Amino acid sequence: MKEKTPNQSLTINTEVVLPNDTNHVGNLFGGKLMQWIDLTAAVAAQRHCGRVVVTASVNQVSFDKPIKQNSVITMEAKVSRAFTSSMEVFVDVFVEDPVTLIKTKCNEAILTFVAVDQNGSPLPVPALLPETEQEKKRFDGALRRKQLSLILAGRMKPSDANELKSIFF
Ligand SMILES: CC(C)(COP(=O)(O)OP(=O)(O)OC[C@H]1O[C@@H](n2cnc3c(N)ncnc32)[C@H](O)[C@@H]1OP(=O)(O)O)[C@@H](O)C(=O)NCCC(=O)NCCS
């Protein structure tokens, strides 16, 4: 399989925060944002591998700033590393000022998707070739995050997580 660059999976999704998307204090409901993030990231993973994908894990979601009703938000997702059948996807979330059109980053999320066949069994995916400094940094940290996610899911023994241990010892 031919390797691909992160840009080949770039997926941009723009949404307007409507009254139905907000919580009791008028900010975007966290679960709604997670739904949009999951969908945007899934499309990026599908663009990378050309297969149907399923969400295996939500590794990190940070809600750094409240997002007000009527805000225009943009989610930018790219595959940050591909393993055998799984792919890590980063999603950067921006809020756009309706007057100046300046975009400010307000959230970040990291998810893992797995390419599957019609029976739900994992399939191999193309490798990822990072190009920019940020893409290389995200690529380098992905194995540590994968090992942490597998430990938390009870799928890996901490003693086997050599890459993760290397940042402590
Ligand atoms: C994700 C899923 C396909 C994995 O299937 P499996 O039979 O356990 O397959 P494996 O153990 O071989 O894992 C496949 C890959 O997923 C990775 N993986 C599985 N769980 C993971 C987790 N919690 N965090 C990170 N990676 C994970 C494995 O490391 C492996 O990666 P690799 O092939 O790149 O090395 C399966 O668990 C599944 O279908 N889950 C439900 C998915 C779903 O319905 N999502 C929607 C949310 S409700």
In a domain, 52, yes or no: yes
**Which CATH number goes with the domain that contains 44?**
3.10.129.10
* pLDDT one-digit tens code per residue, 8-27: 999 999 999 999 999 999 99
In a domain, 135, yes or no: no
Q: Which amino acid is at 28?
A: L
In a domain, 63, yes or no: yes
Domains of the chain: total: 1
79 CB burial (10 A radius; 0-12, 13-18, 19+): buried
pLDDT for the residue numbered 45: 98
Q: Is the CB of 147 under 6 A from ligand 1?
A: no
Beta-bridge partner residues of 105: 94
Q: Is the CB of 149 under 6 A from ligand 1?
A: yes
Tell me the pTM: 0.96
- 56 CA from centroid of ligand 1 (Å): 5
Give the three-class secondary structure for 153: coil
Q: Is the CB of 122 under 6 A from ligand 1?
A: yes
pLDDT for the residue numbered 47: 98
